[in-house]
């Protein structure tokens, strides 16, 4: 594949006015007839040909204004259709016929079949696998779609927009026509046909418009869609209240599909979901699954305004819809659940996925300037750092002025294919604020470091705080100019209250935010009667690495006192992270006790504080993961040592907190009715964290075995099973629980994914052989992305010990699977291959083995563009 560059953007030579499609579905074949109404753009050379995109297509018919085209007028290949001699200044129609075999489409892009259901996935470039088209997001048109199929195989026929007509045809066939009144790009096209169950509800928008909501599932599973429906209605209400955005069609449908490349897709009026993000019940889904469904349902719904009504001019602008929509779904979850706990989990996610991406060879700016394969840019950087950039705009402007900017954006760009510049210009125009230094964030790769120094003059009652921002030039080479970094802060007194900071001078300070726009700045606080504790980067107000060499005593005080609860967690977590990193660099005696008693007591203090929410207390107990420690080490990483350090820390916390953990575990609620609400989920998370520490400290599997046996829901069951399988592998207690779990749930692929994942993450070098065995299990399939991610993806991403086994067996096993997966589904193979990205930070033996594996893979013929792109950039 060739490199596509942002700077090469230009509009199409032809303007598309409308699309009419007829899709005829048969067993083993789909015939597509598309009628395009087109016009040469004003000023375009009358001789310029029309070039349409295709991907593995077969052309079966082509006509201009109803008359079949002569062979010499066009050139068709599976990848492209070029037509010459088209009218120079009048509208014309093209009729294009293609034929496909959805059953053979294992890439799951375009039109494919999942357990008999016909469905489509068009973002980013899947529509060109259905018909020849101007398949790019700045080509918007009105679509009318007619679907024909067998009445028994596909009683349900769905597409975008509003239903227009249905009728019965001869030979037990029927058809449905759907009309979408909103112009849209092809990536938002969708069609679903099959024998589906459904649930339906009515929603009335704020202005009184009735909307029919439907969720469609495989037969027998609609009873599991109730929570998704509830989340959808709450999302619709929230977008009206928070952003004044109402829904715009008569119907909103969601379809849950078993075979899906990503989480879900926001097709206009017809969202298609990975069924993992729709189907739930207490027996088969955990609290984490419930929160995931709520988030993804909200995210896709919010795209109706941020993505669909206003779309992207080109794929370089992907963050315009994705970063903004993630920001919106995070705000929704913060309002629906606990804002502090939501922020902690978003920041954990950012640090676990985006920071390593931004600090390794796959780094790229939130708005990239070039790509070979756009599918590889649906990244943590575009999504999660993209959301952080929107959040910084909100922090800089304040909630009300941010809303004014959003209102202007919706007003000014409704119906447009917009750019990041358009978006930022709306906030500037609505508020008069200069956001040029903020805008730089979109173009520079890498995580900036903010260094903070403190100097307290007791005699003068003055605290001088120094700030410095640095950005190292990385592999992306995208510049290191100083950016606007908003630092939310507070000065905390010994009683745990923020001190009034009215007497302040130096850098630009507004309210509780210091605006860092230069490489260095100084802020001076006067009239202080005693030295306060400085709490910076509250709520993680910027996606930076913080270098604040605060004393352990200050940190421990803030971990206990900071009125900003997010920072209480963040400062404690950083303290623990620093201790574990230091121990991982040190020789073995320190490994026995990597955390000081004071740090452990701070953890236990938060965990035992009944004035705090249970979910927050559970977060305080979650130590930084092994991958996180590896990222902080940055070089010469030995995953065995890191694992030993984290384990020693767990034992240390477990032993010192044994009494607390026993109490927390004993006090857990059992037997009562399951409720997925945030508070109940928090209590379960706290009890399960306690169970993990108890097992680590005592080596007794009894409490976990009891919890497994008594579990009334999947959350408690899976937590107990994880402790048994990870801490007591090969014991009868562990194997009998694993067998029981399989026997109970072997008919439910989504639960079997958990069964695979739990075994893929057994923290033992032998996990390589375990996953190798599981790959031949009857329930494993290379064709189902969820199954592949559960076994291969989870092993590579979440089993540091085994994936990085010193003999290279983990790398080899994953590489072999990548080759097999790549032949079927390049998007999935490319995504899993990113787990190799941090190879340079490993110690020399593993570094050589990992890079040799990557190089050998790259030498193979017939790799997909997707996988080749990831491998090539990982080695750069
Ligand atoms: N906008 C959606 C992205 C997506 C996707 C991209 C490439 C290949 C398959 C895909 N399925 C969904 C999802 C979202 O961010 O809402
Ligand atoms: Zn999205």
Q: What does the pLDDT look like over 10-33, one tens digit per residue?
A: 999 999 999 999 999 999 999 999
Alpha carbons within 13 A on the beta-carbon side of 350: 25
Q: Residue 690 domain-assigned?
A: no
Q: Give residue-wise pLDDT tens across range 748-780.
A: 999 999 999 999 999 999 999 999 999 999 999
Q: Is the pLDDT score of 584 beyond 90? A: yes
40 CB burial (10 A radius; 0-12, 13-18, 19+): buried
Q: How many Å is the maximal CA-CA distance in the chain?
A: 95
Q: Which ligand is nearest to the CA of 324?
A: 2
Q: Which residue, by CA, sits nearest to atom 3 of ligand 1? A: 265
Contact call for residues 74 and 51 (beta carbons, < 8 A) = no
Q: Are 203 and 164 part of one and the same domain?
A: yes
Q: Are 456 and 393 part of one and the same domain?
A: no
Q: Binning pLDDT at 50, 70 and 90, where does residue 502 land?
A: confident
Distance 378 CA to ligand 1 centre (A): 7
Q: Which residues contact 147 (CB under 8 A, 6 or more apart)?
A: 23, 25, 157, 158, 159, 175, 176, 178, 191, 193
Q: Look at the chain and report how many structural domains it folds into.
A: 4
The residue among 515, 544, 573 that closes a domain is 544
Q: Which residue, by CA, sits nearest to atom 10 of ligand 1? A: 262
Q: Which helix (H) or strand (E) holds 438?
A: helix 436-439
Q: Which residue, by CA, sits nearest to atom 1 of ligand 1? A: 265
Distance 388 CA to ligand 2 centre (A): 15
Percentage with pLDDT > 90 across the chain: 97
Q: Are 328 and 288 part of one and the same domain?
A: no
Beta pairing partners, 255: 216, 272
Q: Residue 603 domain-assigned?
A: no
Q: Give residue-wise pLDDT tens across range 300-330.
A: 999 999 999 999 999 999 999 999 999 999 9
Ligand 1 contact via 186 beta carbon (within 6 Å): no
The residue among 492, 520, 544 that closes a domain is 544
Atom of ligand 1 nearest to the CA of 126: 8
Mean pLDDT of the chain: 97
Ligand 1 contact via 124 beta carbon (within 6 Å): yes
Q: Give residue-wise pLDDT tens across range 382-419.
A: 999 999 999 999 999 999 999 999 999 999 999 999 99
> Among 596, 494, 594, 599, which residue's Cα sits nearest to residue 556?
599
What pLDDT score was predicted for residue 259? 99
Q: Which ligand is nearest to the CA of 828?
A: 1
Distance 158 CA to ligand 1 centre (A): 19
| Global pTM value | 0.99
Helix 714-727 vs helix 678-698: crossing angle, to nearest 10: 20
Q: Residue 310 domain-assigned?
A: no
Joined together, the tokens standing for residue 178 give 């759907």
Ligand 1 contact via 306 beta carbon (within 6 Å): no
Q: Are 279 and 244 part of one and the same domain?
A: yes
Instruction: Return the best residue to mutate from 110, 189, 264, 304 for the ligand 1 pocket (most ligand atoms within 8 A of CB).
Output: 264
Q: Which residue, by CA, sits nearest to atom 2 of ligand 1? A: 265
Ligand 1 contact via 322 beta carbon (within 6 Å): yes
What pLDDT score was predicted for residue 227? 98
Q: Binning pLDDT at 50, 70 and 90, where does residue 585 land?
A: very high
Ligand 1 contact via 789 beta carbon (within 6 Å): no
As a whole number of Å, the end-to-end CA separation of the chain is 18
What pLDDT score was predicted for residue 411? 98
What pLDDT score was predicted for residue 591? 77
Q: Give residue-wise pLDDT tens across range 96-110.
A: 999 999 999 999 999
Q: Is the pLDDT score of 173 beyond 90? A: yes
Q: Give the DSSP per-residue string, 15-54.
A: EEEEEEEEEEEETTEEEEEEEEEEEEPTTS-TTPPEEEE-
Q: Give residue-wise pLDDT tens across range 624-679.
A: 999 999 999 999 999 999 999 999 999 999 999 999 999 999 999 887 689 999 99
Atom of ligand 1 nearest to the CA of 827: 8
Distance 827 CA to ligand 1 centre (A): 11
Ligand 1 contact via 857 beta carbon (within 6 Å): no
Give the separation between CA 102 and CA 111, rounded to whole angstroms. 6
> Among 326, 222, 335, 323, which residue's Cα sits nearest to residue 281?
222
Q: Residue 277 domain-assigned?
A: yes
Contact call for residues 571 and 605 (beta carbons, < 8 A) = no
Joined together, the tokens standing for residue 557 give 């005080």
Q: Which residue, by CA, sits nearest to atom 6 of ligand 1? A: 123
Ligand 1 contact via 723 beta carbon (within 6 Å): no
What pLDDT score was predicted for residue 501? 85
Instruction: Please state, as a whole number, how many other Cβ atoms lie within 10 Å of the Cβ of residue 51.
Output: 15
Ligand 1 contact via 121 beta carbon (within 6 Å): yes
Stretch 247-257: mean pLDDT, rounded? 99
Q: Is the pLDDT score of 202 beyond 70? A: yes
Ligand 1 contact via 262 beta carbon (within 6 Å): yes
Say whether 300 is catalytic.
yes
Stretch 266-289: mean pLDDT, rounded? 99
Ligand 1 contact via 266 beta carbon (within 6 Å): yes
Could you tell me whether strands 59-64 and 67-68 are parallel, antiparallel, or unpaired per DSSP bridges?
antiparallel
Q: Are 507 and 398 part of one and the same domain?
A: no
SS (H, E, C) 640-708: HHHHHHHHHHHHHHHHHCHHHHHHHHHCCCCCCCCCCCHHHHHHHHHHHHHHHHHHHHHCCCHHHHHHH
In eight-state DSSP terms, residue 807 is: T
Q: Binning pLDDT at 50, 70 and 90, where does residue 587 land?
A: low
Q: Residue 336 domain-assigned?
A: yes
CATH number at residue 493: 2.60.40.1840
Give the separation between CA 563 and CA 568, rounded to whole angstroms. 8
Q: Are 396 and 458 part of one and the same domain?
A: no
CATH number at residue 191: 2.60.40.1730
What sign results for the dihedral spanned by CA atoms 211, 216, 220, 226? negative
> Among 423, 415, 409, 353, which residue's Cα sits nearest to residue 381?
353
SS (H, E, C) 84-95: CCCCCCCCEEEE
> Among 199, 217, 222, 227, which residue's Cα sits nearest to residue 257?
217
Stretch 77-102: mean pLDDT, rounded? 98
Atom of ligand 1 nearest to the CA of 260: 11
The residue among 498, 527, 544 that closes a domain is 544
Q: Which of 300, 357, 388, 628 is an active site residue?
A: 300
Distance 383 CA to ligand 2 centre (A): 8
740 CB burial (10 A radius; 0-12, 13-18, 19+): middle
Give the separation between CA 686 and CA 715, rounded to whole angstroms. 12
Could you tell me whether strands 449-457 and 370-371 are parallel, antiparallel, or unpaired per DSSP bridges?
unpaired
What pLDDT score was predicted for residue 716? 97
Distance 264 CA to ligand 1 centre (A): 6
What pLDDT score was predicted for residue 507? 83
Give the separation between CA 693 and CA 24, rounded to whole angstroms. 58
> Structural domain of residue 534, as residue ranges?
449-544
CATH number at residue 856: 1.25.50.10
Q: What share of the chain is helix, strand, coil (3-state, %, to 5)?
A: 45, 20, 30
Contact call for residues 613 and 682 (beta carbons, < 8 A) = yes
In eight-state DSSP terms, residue 383 is: I
Q: Residue 434 domain-assigned?
A: no
Q: Which residue, by CA, sits nearest to atom 15 of ligand 1? A: 322
Ligand 1 contact via 299 beta carbon (within 6 Å): yes
Distance 273 CA to ligand 1 centre (A): 10
Q: How far is CA 100 from CA 18, 55, 69, 104, 113, in A?
A: 23, 11, 21, 9, 12
Q: Are 337 and 455 part of one and the same domain?
A: no
Distance 56 CA to ligand 1 centre (A): 21
Q: Binning pLDDT at 50, 70 and 90, where does residue 203 land?
A: very high
Instruction: Return the best residue to mutate from 112, 123, 297 for the ligand 1 pocket (most ligand atoms within 8 A of CB).
Output: 123
174 — phi, psi (to 5°)?
-150, 175
Could you tell me whether strands 141-150 and 173-184 are parallel, antiparallel, or unpaired per DSSP bridges?
antiparallel
Q: Which residue, by CA, sits nearest to atom 8 of ligand 1? A: 123
Q: Is the pLDDT score of 1 beyond 80? A: no
Give the separation between CA 766 and CA 73, rounded to whole angstroms. 63
Give the separation between CA 516 and CA 72, rounded to whole angstroms. 63
Distance 709 CA to ligand 1 centre (A): 39
Q: Which residue, by CA, sits nearest to atom 14 of ligand 1? A: 265
Could you tell me whether strands 270-274 and 251-257 are parallel, antiparallel, or unpaired per DSSP bridges?
parallel
Ligand 1 contact via 123 beta carbon (within 6 Å): yes
Q: Give residue-wise pLDDT tens across range 819-859.
A: 999 999 999 999 999 999 999 999 999 999 999 999 999 99
Q: Binning pLDDT at 50, 70 and 90, where does residue 219 land?
A: very high
Instruction: Return the best residue to mutate from 106, 111, 135, 262 for the ligand 1 pocket (most ligand atoms within 8 A of CB).
Output: 262
CATH number at residue 374: 1.10.390.10
Q: Are 105 and 219 part of one and the same domain?
A: yes
Q: Which ligand is nearest to the CA of 271?
A: 1
Contact call for residues 122 and 64 (beta carbons, < 8 A) = no
Q: Are 321 and 181 part of one and the same domain?
A: no
Q: Residue 604 domain-assigned?
A: no
Contact call for residues 149 and 171 (beta carbons, < 8 A) = no
Q: Are 288 and 334 part of one and the same domain?
A: no
Q: Are 277 and 169 part of one and the same domain?
A: yes
Stretch 64-89: mean pLDDT, rounded? 97
Instruction: Return the best residue to mutate from 124, 127, 265 for the ligand 1 pocket (most ligand atoms within 8 A of CB).
Output: 265
Ligand 1 contact via 259 beta carbon (within 6 Å): no
In eight-state DSSP terms, residue 317 is: G
Q: Binning pLDDT at 50, 70 and 90, where does residue 503 land?
A: confident
- Coil, helix or strand at residue 522: strand
Instruction: Please state, as a whole number, how many other Cβ atoms lie within 10 Å of the Cβ of residue 495.
Output: 7
Contact call for residues 389 and 350 (beta carbons, < 8 A) = no
Atom of ligand 1 nearest to the CA of 299: 16
Contact call for residues 867 and 818 (beta carbons, < 8 A) = yes
Q: Are 211 and 85 part of one and the same domain?
A: yes
What pLDDT score was predicted for residue 54? 98
Q: Residue 560 domain-assigned?
A: no
């Amino acid at each position: 594949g060739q490199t596509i560059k942002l700077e090469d953007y230009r509009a199409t030579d032809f303007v598309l006015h409308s699309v009419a499609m007829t899709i005829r579905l048969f067993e083993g074949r789909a015939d597509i007839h598309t009628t395009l109404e087109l016009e040469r753009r004003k000023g375009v050379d009358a001789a310029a040909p029309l070039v349409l995109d295709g991907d593995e297509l077969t052309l079966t018919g082509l006509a201009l204004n109803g008359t079949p085209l002569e062979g010499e007028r066009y050139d068709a290949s599976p990848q492209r259709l070029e037509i010459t001699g088209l009218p120079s200044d009048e509208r014309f129609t093209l009729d294009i016929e293609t034929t496909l075999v959805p059953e053979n489409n294992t890439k799951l892009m375009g039109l494919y079949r999942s357990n008999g259901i016909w469905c489509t996935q068009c973002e980013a470039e899947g529509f060109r696998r259905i018909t020849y088209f101007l398949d790019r997001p700045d080509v918007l048109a009105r679509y009318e779609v007619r679907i024909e199929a067998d009445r028994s195989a596909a009683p349900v026929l769905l597409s975008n927009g509003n239903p227009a007509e249905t009728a019965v045809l001869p030979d037990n066939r029927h058809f449905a026509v759907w009309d979408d009144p909103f112009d849209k790009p092809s990536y938002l096209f969708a069609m679903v046909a099959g024998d589906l169950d459904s649930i339906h509800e009515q929603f009335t928008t704020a202005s009184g418009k009735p909307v029919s909501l439907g969720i469609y599932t495989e037969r027998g599973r609609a009873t599991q869609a109730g929570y998704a429906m509830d989340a959808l209605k709450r999302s619709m209400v929230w977008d009206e209240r928070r952003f004044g955005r109402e829904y715009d069609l008569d119907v909103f449908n969601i379809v849950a599909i078993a075979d899906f490349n990503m989480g879900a897709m926001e097709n206009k009026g017809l969202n298609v979901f990975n069924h993992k993000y729709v189907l739930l019940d207490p027996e088969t889904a955990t609290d984490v699954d419930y929160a995931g469904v709520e988030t993804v349902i909200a995210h896709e719904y919010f795209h109706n305004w941020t993505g669909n009504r206003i779309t992207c001019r080109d794929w370089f602008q992907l963050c315009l819809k994705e970063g903004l929509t993630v920001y919106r779904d995070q705000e929704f979850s913060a309002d629906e659940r606990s804002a502090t706990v939501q922020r902690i989990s978003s920041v954990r996610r950012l640090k676990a996925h985006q920071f390593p991406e931004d600090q390794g060879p796959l780094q790229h700016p939130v708005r990239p300037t070039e790509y070979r394969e756009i599918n590889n840019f649906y990244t943590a950087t575009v999504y999660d750092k993209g959301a952080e950039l929107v959040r910084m705009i909100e922090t800089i402007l304040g909630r009300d002025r941010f809303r004014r900017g959003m209102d202007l954006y919706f007003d000014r760009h409704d119906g447009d294919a917009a750019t990041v510049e358009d978006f930022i210009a709306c906030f500037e125009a609505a508020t008069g604020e200069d956001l040029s230094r903020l805008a730089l964030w979109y173009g520079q790769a890498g995580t900036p470091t903010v260094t903070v120094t403190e100097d307290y003059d007791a005699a003068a009652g003055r605290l001088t705080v120094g700030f410095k921002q640095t950005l190292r030039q990385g592999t992306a080479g995208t510049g290191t100019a100083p950016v606007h970094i908003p630092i939310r802060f507070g000065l905390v007194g010994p009683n745990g209250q923020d001190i009034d900071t009215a007497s302040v001078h130096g850098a630009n300070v507004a309210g509780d935010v210091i605006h860092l726009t230069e490489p260095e700045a100084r802020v001076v606080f006067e009239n202080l009667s005693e030295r306060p504790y400085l709490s910076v980067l509250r709520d993680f107000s910027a996606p930076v690495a913080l270098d604040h060499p605060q004393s352990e005593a200050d940190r421990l005080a803030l971990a206990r006192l900071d009125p900003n609860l997010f920072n209480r967690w963040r400062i404690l977590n950083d303290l623990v992270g620093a201790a574990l990193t230091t121990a991982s660099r040190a020789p073995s005696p320190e490994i026995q006790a990597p955390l000081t008693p004071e740090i452990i007591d701070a953890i236990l203090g938060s965990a035992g504080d009944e004035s705090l929410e249970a979910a927050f207390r559970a977060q305080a107990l979650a130590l930084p993961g092994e991958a996180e420690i590896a990222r902080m080490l940055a070089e010469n990483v030995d995953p065995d040592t890191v694992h030993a350090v984290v384990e020693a820390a767990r034992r240390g916390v477990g032993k010192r907190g044994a009494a607390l953990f026993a109490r927390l575990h004993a006090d857990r609620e059992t037997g009562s009715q399951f409720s997925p609400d945030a508070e109940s989920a928090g209590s379960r998370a706290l009890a399960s964290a306690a169970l993990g520490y108890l097992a680590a400290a005592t080596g007794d599997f009894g409490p976990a075995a009891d919890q497994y046996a008594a579990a009334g829901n999947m959350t408690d069951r899976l937590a107990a099973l994880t402790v048994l399988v990870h801490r007591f592998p090969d014991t009868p207690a562990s194997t009998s629980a694993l067998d029981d779990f399989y026997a109970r749930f072997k008919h439910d692929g989504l639960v079997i994914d958990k069964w695979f994942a739990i075994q893929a993450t057994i923290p033992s070098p032998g996990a390589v052989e375990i996953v190798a065995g599981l790959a031949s299990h009857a329930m494993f399939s290379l064709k189902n992305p969820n199954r592949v991610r559960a076994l291969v993806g989870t092993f590579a991403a979440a089993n540091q010990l085994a994936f990085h086994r010193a003999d290279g067996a983990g790398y080899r096993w994953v590489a072999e699977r990548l080759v097999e997966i790549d032949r079927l589904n390049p998007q999935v193979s490319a995504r899993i291959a990113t787990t190799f990205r941090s190879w340079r930070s490993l110690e020399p033996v593993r570094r050589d083995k990992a890079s040799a594996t990557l190089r050998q893979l790259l030498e193979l013929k017939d790799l997909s563009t997707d996988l080749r792109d990831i491998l090539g950039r990982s080695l750069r």
